[in-house]
Amino acid sequence: MTNSGEYVRGFTNYIILSILAKFDSYGYEMTKIIEAVSKQNIQLTEATLYTALKRLLAEDKIKSYTGKNKKGMKRRYYQITPLGKKELQLFRKDWVMIENTLSSLVGGNFVYNREN
């Protein structure tokens, strides 16, 4: 998929919050999760990911701490906050409508009466 980051740009925050709702993670690990789940079809640039993380930190939707990964390497981990959980919960309520609408519009399956 070419330019896949463009397709998910508006959803980057929610992708990150969804990962962090399952477990604390660090940037590189999150990119690997996204690539694995999308079967390599979605790849976020480092700049896109870290810009989103910085924004989520500033909005108090996530927080960070220093920890060690499985190999003992020092990493900056991110953790979802109660505000981030609330934001994700609200988005998930709207997700079905968003998904269905985009599918209809992009798939050309919509009906529109031009008379109105």
**pLDDT tens digits for 66-110?**
998 888 889 999 999 999 999 999 999 999 999 999 899 999 888
* Structural domain range at position 49: 4-94
> CA-CA-CA-CA torsion for 46, 99, 82, 33, nearest 10 degrees?
-40
**pLDDT tens digits for 10-60?**
899 999 999 999 999 999 999 999 999 999 888 888 899 999 999 999 999
CATH of the domain at 12: 1.10.10.10
- 49: nearest Cα among 66, 68, 62, 39: 62
Number of domains in the chain: 1
Structural domain includes residue 115: no
Q: What is the pTM of this model?
A: 0.85
